[in-house]
Chain A
Amino acid sequence: MKSKIFILSCIITLSALLPGCDYLDIVPDNTVQVGSLFENRDKALGALSTCYRYMPNYEKLHESMSLAGDEWLGRLDADHGENRGLQRGMQLMRGWNNSNDPILNYWAGGGGATSLYQGIRVCNIFFENIENVPDLTPAEKADWIAQVKILKAYYHFYLIRLYGPIVIADKNLEPFSPVEEVRQERQSVDSCFNYVLKSIDEVLYDANGNPRTELSVERESAYLGQVDQINARAIKAQVLITRASPLFNGNTEYFSNFKNKAGQTYFPMTYDPEKWKDALDGIKDAIDYAEARGKKLYTFQGQPKFWDVENFEESEIIQYAYNKRFSIVDGWNDELLWGYSGLDYEGQGGFAHATNMRSVADPTQAGYAWQWLGADYRMDELFYSRNGVPIEEDKTYTYDNRLQITEIPDDNYHKGYMQVGEKSIRLHLNREPRFYAWMVVDRSIWRTHDLANDVKMRYNEFPGGRGAQHTTDFYWTGIGVKKMVHPESGTGHWARVVKFPYPILRLSDLYLMYAEAYNEYNGPGQPAYEYLNRVRAVAGLPAIETVWSDGDIVKTVGKHTTKEGLRDIIQRERQIELSFEGHRYYDILRWKQADRYFVSPVKGFNTTGVDPEQFYVLMTLQPRRWQTPRDYLMPLPLSDINRNPNLVQNPGW
């Protein structure tokens, strides 16, 4: 007995010692490593997709720069309006940004944005590994590399627009590098622009200036949204015009004291008119290239819906209104050069969801049609009169009486767009077709939910109005925006929302860039009018030279013949044509006009008004704070300044 147990215990003791050294090796072999992301074409497509993932969001209103500026106004109630994590672009305009915890921090990530430097790093990882993909054809490989090069340049460009001088991240730095190596400095604005332009040119042209062909000219259906030769040229045009604009070109007014540690200014201190020449050439190249490949301004060709057949026969403006309405929401049309396709396909939070009106059939169904994001009152005034000139310039338009209540006439100009016989104000009558295509006002008609709906925005009215049942979801200014909603979009389920790519660049943008660059370099001239008029023609507006020479219509006759006058006209045209598409904020900055627009409060109609007399009273809804020059550039995050002593903070932050 005794010895047995002795032996037993010895065995137990020994057996415990047996497992040996591999007892601690428990990790399976095939875990994912960087190399395995490029094993084959299919996986490499995922890597390509990851490079695109860092595209700044154009769809989601809380997580994009698109609410920045003075076009939109969303919910003002305490929960939503005072929430720093919502409607972030709007909160930027209220002086809420800081270097502590930047809103829309594209530099380091946070505040609703992802770090673009992370995107650039992914692009570099892509370059380092793409050669190893065995089943990728050389042509396809070259195309992908070219795409990612353009993307990387675009990410740098996006950072320049926000931050001015940036750190150029051409090569990846290793995570375990010594700290001195990773503390990079910001480069001068010109070097940054040159880096971006050089990167794009490397894809488009060889050393002798001959076009390269690695990058596809256009994309097949399955890859729409990727970079191609057409949109690469359009991006280049946008970079060039940004570089030439007053904010970046010889801006001694704002940035003469903004210097690096060696004492050199980050911004060029002398104005260089040749930058406009470069822009003009680049834009022309982009336009010609796009037009040669079938890109043209959008005109509506389809069959109107049954409820609009009659209107199509009688209305004077419906063809133009359709042109403009569908130029945005008719996906991948010929006018679109580059569309944002990284949609949150099944989710919410996009412009389409926040701006769409609730279904008249089901007032409680809020999903995908929240009806709370509307327009600032200034957008109501921005659009031209039916003569194609600003309302304050139109002699036939009694600007001073614009808020006077009047009855909507039964005529073929307003038919189908305003509710005949109802009370409205003069401001909402006799406006250009784009006004009726894109703006929503009380007693207008809105084609959405696949119906022509009568909009009612007064207190306790539905749809659109404020009331006991709609304490937060209503158009707070009494002015809505149709531009981002497809007329057939429904509510309640993601599948009912008609998807379209959000326009990043479209042809009319290039035309207007051309006119601007031409005027800045050469002064007024026919080529500038020509491109302006093309944009106006599809919107049903008369030619610039005609209308601005007509003393019966305009107050300032011949305004288009002076450089300053034409600049004004081009800028107004841009603000109208590209309204609500995320351009206005950057345009106003590059024109150095923030003090003109961004300091005035947001206004709207009195949404608690029950009758027209009460409703059409202008109310101040939200004060705005803008500090020049501070707010022209975003703050670098304080945490990064602390991590990298070589960084110099932007002025005023």
Chain B
Amino acid sequence: MNYMKMRMKGLFSQSFNLTKSMPAALLIFCMALAFPAGAFAEVTEAQQSRREITGIVTDTQGEPLPGVTVQVVGRQGGVITDVDGNYAIQAATGEEIRYQYVGMRSETAKVGTGSILNITMHEDVELLDEVTITAFATQKKESVVSSIETINPKELRVPSSNLTTALAGRLAGVISYQRSGEPGNDNAQFFVRGVTTFGYASSPLILLDGFEVSSTDLARVDPDNIEQFAVLKDATAAALYGSKGANGVIMVTTKKGVAGKPKISVRADGRLSAPTRVLETVDGVEYMKLYNEAQFNDNPLLSPYYTAQKIQNTADGLNEYAYPNLNWYDIMFKPNTFNQHYNMNISGGGTVVKYYLSVSYDKDTGILKDNKLNNFKNNIDIDRFNVLANITMDLTETTKMDINMNSIFENFTGPLDNTNDIFASVVATNPVEFPKFYLPDEKTAYVKHTLFGSDATGTMVNPFARMVRGYKDGSMGRITSQFSLDQDMGSLLEGLMARAKVSIKNDNRYENFRSYDPYLYNIKNYDEFTDTYELQQVHKGTDALGNPSIQRSGEFRLYMEGGLTYANTLNDIHDLSGLLIYTQEEMKNTGIWRADEMTIQRTLPQRNQGIRARVNYGLKEKYLAEASLTYTGSEKFDKSNRWGVFPAFGLGYLVSNEPFWEPMENIAPSFKLKYSWGKVGNDQIAGAADRFFFLSDIGGGGGYRWGKDFNSNYGGFNINRYANPMITWEIAVKRNIGFEMDFFKNRALKLIVEYFSENRRQIYQARANLPATMGLTSNVYGNVGEVKSGGFDGSIDLNHSFNKDTWLTGRFNFTFAQNEYVENEEPEYRWKYLSDIGWPINTWKGFIAERLFIDEADVHNSPVQELGSVPQAGDIKYKDINGDGRVNDDDQVHIGYPTVPEINYGFGLSAGHKNFDISTFFQGQDRVSFFIDPNARRGDNFGIAPFVGHRGALKIIADDHWNPNNPVSHAFWPRLSATLNQNNSRQNSTWWLRNGRFLRMKTLEVGYTFPSKWFQPASMVRVYFTGQNLFSISDFKLWDPEMGGNGLAYPLQRVYNVGLNVTF
């Protein structure tokens, strides 16, 4: 079948299927212009000899199809088949009757002389694939020269209420990983073709039905509502987004109504969720011994912190309150939790109005324990409602209106503190200092409040008290409304259409933080003989919840576009299309609740404005060309540098449409080569608070006091930024070359491989060569950085039916994206290896750890390590790279792989036999490093350093550390220290570097579809089991390697999901 035939067939079979989907409709709407107006005249003549035509519509298995729309071509109105598939319609000989049904390919039949027309409809498997949404329009997939990756939305359905967690390994060209498993806060990071800038923003632009949204908005999209999920990877695809497309574009389109009787689909999922791995902490007795060892290592002059008596009594398990020995993890967290997900959607409509309506509900809960003594819950508990309404109206034959309303409402409660902090506090608290709470003694027998434990000064944090001392509750509403109008202007010029669109988003979040101040107690006296203790209050708390502190945030976004599109085929060989679009958008006040963020710069709206034009040309369905030009402006820059011009072009060659390809037809029916080049801009080069680069920023700074009573206090100033009107766009020059190839007659195998490269220029960056003696109070910035990146991505799709009952599909995709600094503002290093030039961004610099110092003589005979403390035996010995006899920052080299994986891959297989189906998907990443954080910040304690401030310790540290009695040169943890050791814990080094590669079974799904007769009127009933994150293979065992250096955060979850899907 050559391209021309296919195209014509597609045109005829689909031109009446206005309702299949919005993109399809749009494309076809354009194509419909190709019909001469005279066609309508012919139909009217035929009216005279109408008679009743009857028949039965069945599917390929001979089952009757109820609800099929039957229409006479060119005439308004129509009929619908009954339960048994019967219909009756008035038509004349020579007229064409069109049959439409959701999920079936439309059929047309010419009325002959008879009065019975029985029709068999075929399932439409290819329709989705045939058109692709591109920037501001749709294109036939075959004629696309851009690099656009689409995915079957079904594949995004994972047992998680967060869509972003499904992306890793599914899409060629997307690098993705998930760092936290906290419900509501578990977004995965994702980058299109890797991170290609070290500037402020490296995340892609996300468009939901053509309107910019945040990654959290994307996370909340119900996979059941997705019509198409596309990633725009190269310049021709993204250039039209001008100021925002430099990091790639993710485009999600929701389903549109399809004419026909209402089709209802209901889904229910129940999910059991538990951490993939749980951290092990050290037992109390060992903890105390090790603490004493640590303190001795720091200062042998001090007496042991824990007395031998206390250690012995704890070991003997004397009194659990006087001698506590706790596992804080078990005290604070449940082993698992149960979540639910429901979705119902209805689509249908007539010839004028079509609708798609969907309602979803999610219940997400966390694994935090509640305090039975409180009547409130501090566990994470989110109720989320997701309502989508897409309505399409054909106002006239040439005018179409779309209304899209997408709302998300959340009602939640949760802990007062950041959940990751709560998890980290388990490691930050030692097992022996105090119990979670005391049982009352004589004096406190009638006290109403909980007697939370603390140390003698009341300064140590009781993580349990901290967790249960309050809760937050709140609500969130996000409403997006979009209205668009498409006008066929064929009467002016064949193939011309006008369009206009307005989108508004309003987002409001409101949270109450309610808490009491826990009373803290400590044991004053413990009497061993009577086994009783006397408590003392070390911190006076409050009995009741205080007034809440309230946080509100909001975002308002307004987007407008208007323009013209054109598509036509001239003389049967020239396919010409184009568009000219004007857009403007505004965003105001996102999520500000901290007083220091309420600055003029931060709160002024962000605006963009631009004109975009594109021309596509195809010659004889073989040679394809595309060119585009975008002219956009941003409010961030000085007038002289405000506007940017971003051109792009692409070329395609459909080799398989050449006559000489004929012999290959059966082996490789389709083969396309494509190339593109273009420039894309990025105005997100600094945060909203630091935008107007042409202005200097002078803030208030503390002054100085004078006067007898120090009362003459005049506020001073601080220059936070020196004005620079030259600051302008960050620019990406992207190139893409690739081929697409189908194999075998039935196209069972499809291969796409693309090679890409990019130069990101003018990256906004601080000048690094201005010495301190200039006395500048802020960095001076310029558009100076440049990054070169490149790589390849590809996918293989397999699709084969062995027979009527047995099928197999498979998919493999692979992304390799690498980058390096080309220009980086850095000092004139005396040693060239210090330069970042030539190294990937996101690669850490650090010391090369050789081993641990054996003894003091070893320290003495080694290069001096000037890293903040005086090293001693058991500390990490670093390599003196430049051989100057001292180890300092000049000895840091690039170590490991980047912290963002260079390779992401995924593969999966699905198979079905009769009513059973099974599918599995594996996902992996490689060429990635992360660092164990050996720090111990007490504010946001994510490091694992033991003992600092009496923090707890991980079991692995107890098991494997340097010991003065057995000084080994390698151990997991160096010399124990009761403080944050500057030499060991505060330096980046290979000691803490780990390989972050892993391969995990991301999902496993087993399903069974009941025979459709069983549950009439339901047309389909399927039950399934899905497991997520069932196992992984990795060199790293301490925590889930996907969490990278964030190992103490809310752990990633393993989910066992049971679901039911019913379609009516």
Contact = CB atoms under 8 A, between A and B. Distances in A.
A619 B299 CA distance: 13
B692 A27 contact: yes
Interface in B566-610: 582, 584, 600, 604-605, 607, 609
> How big is the A interface, by class?
35 or more
A17 to B, nearest CB: 5
Interface string B608-628: 010000000000000000000
Contact of B770 (A31, A34, A115, A182): A182
Contacts of A32: 698-699, 717
A345 B710 contact: yes
Contacts of B395: 1, 5
A191 interface: no
A331 B980 CA distance: 40
Interface in B194-242: none
Contacts of A107: 772-773
Interface in A72-88: 76-79, 81-84
Given A53-B702, A79-B948, A173-B774, A639 B827 contact: yes
A14 B399 CA distance: 17
Given A121-B776, A169-B775, A2 B978 contact: no
Given A9-B498, A19-B609, A343-B705, A79 B634 contact: no
B980 A5 contact: no
A55 interface: yes
Contact of B704 (A16, A52, A109, A221): A52
Nearest to B776: A175
Contact of B716 (A50, A221, A222, A499): A50
B838 to A, nearest CB: 18
B485 A12 contact: yes
Given A5-B396, A49-B715, A53-B702, A224 B707 contact: yes
A359 B88 CA distance: 100
A145 interface: no
Interface stretch (B51-59, B153-161, B367-375, B556-564): B556-564
A17 B485 contact: no
Nearest to B775: A121
Interface stretch (B472-480, B658-666, B864-872): B864-872
Contact of A643 (B633, B695, B770): B770
A375 B834 CA distance: 44
B774 A45 contact: no
Interface stretch (A93-101, A398-406, A424-432): A93-101
Contact of B771 (A31, A176, A184): A184
A31 B888 contact: no
A233 B633 CA distance: 59
A60 to B, nearest CB: 13
Interface in A37-82: 37, 45-50, 52-53, 55, 76-79, 81-82
B716 to A, nearest CB: 3
A549 interface: no
A637 interface: yes
Contact of B712 (A16, A222, A332): A222
B889 interface: yes
A24 interface: yes
B869 A96 contact: yes
B722 A175 contact: yes
Contacts of A100: 866-868, 888-889
B830 A78 contact: no
Nearest to A2: B396
Interface in A590-624: 608, 619-622
B499 A9 contact: yes
B142 interface: no
A117 B775 CA distance: 4
Interface residues of B, number: 95
B775 A46 contact: no
A219 B706 CA distance: 10
A313 to B, nearest CB: 32
B600 A31 contact: yes
A350 to B, nearest CB: 12
Contact of A53 (B716, B774, B868, B948): B716
Contacts of B980: 82-83
Contacts of A121: 774-777
Interface in A167-223: 167, 169, 172-173, 175-176, 179, 182-184, 219, 221-223
A53 B703 contact: yes
A179 B634 CA distance: 31
Given A98-B888, A640-B772, A5 B487 contact: yes
Contacts of A6: 398-399, 487, 489, 498
B1 interface: no
A625 B870 contact: yes
Nearest to B398: A2
A351 to B, nearest CB: 16
B717 A13 contact: no
Nearest to B888: A100
A47 B717 contact: yes
B717 A2 contact: no
Contacts of B634: 24
Interface in A632-653: 637-640, 642-645, 647
Contacts of A77: 302
B584 A16 contact: yes
B771 A98 contact: no
B696 interface: yes
A8 B400 CA distance: 12
A294 to B, nearest CB: 16
B978 A82 contact: yes
A24 B640 CA distance: 12
A37 B584 contact: no
B487 A16 contact: no
B500 A12 contact: yes
Interface string B810-829: 00000000000000000111
B708 interface: yes
A46 B772 contact: no
B701 A341 contact: no
Contacts of B777: 118, 121
Given A46-B717, A49-B714, A100-B867, A16 B775 contact: no
B978 A78 contact: yes
Contact of B714 (A48, A98, A101, A332): A48
Contacts of B799: none
A342 B704 contact: yes
B775 A115 contact: yes
A33 interface: yes
B917 to A, nearest CB: 46
A331 B502 CA distance: 69
B301 A2 contact: no
A79 B979 contact: yes
A361 interface: no
Contacts of A644: 769, 771, 773
B101 interface: no
Among B560, B769, B868, B870, chain A packs the most CB atoms within 10 A around the CB of B868
A306 interface: no
Given A49-B714, A225-B705, 7 more contacts: A10-B487, A27-B692, A50-B703, A96-B982, A115-B772, A169-B773, A345-B710
The 9 A-B residue pairs with the shortest CB-CB distance, nearest first, are A121-B775, A50-B716, A108-B772, A49-B703, A82-B979, A78-B978, A13-B562, A98-B866, A52-B704
Interface of A: 1-2, 5-6, 8-10, 12-17, 19, 23-28, 31-34, 37, 45-50, 52-53, 55, 76-79, 81-84, 94-96, 98-101, 107-109, 115, 117-122, 167, 169, 172-173, 175-176, 179, 182-184, 219, 221-226, 331-332, 341-343, 345, 468-469, 471-472, 499, 608, 619-622, 625, 637-640, 642-645, 647
21 contacts: A6-B487, A12-B500, A16-B500, A24-B634, A25-B639, A26-B604, A32-B717, A50-B716, A78-B295, A78-B977, A78-B978, A82-B978, A100-B889, A219-B706, A223-B706, A332-B708, A341-B705, A499-B709, A622-B299, A640-B773, A643-B770
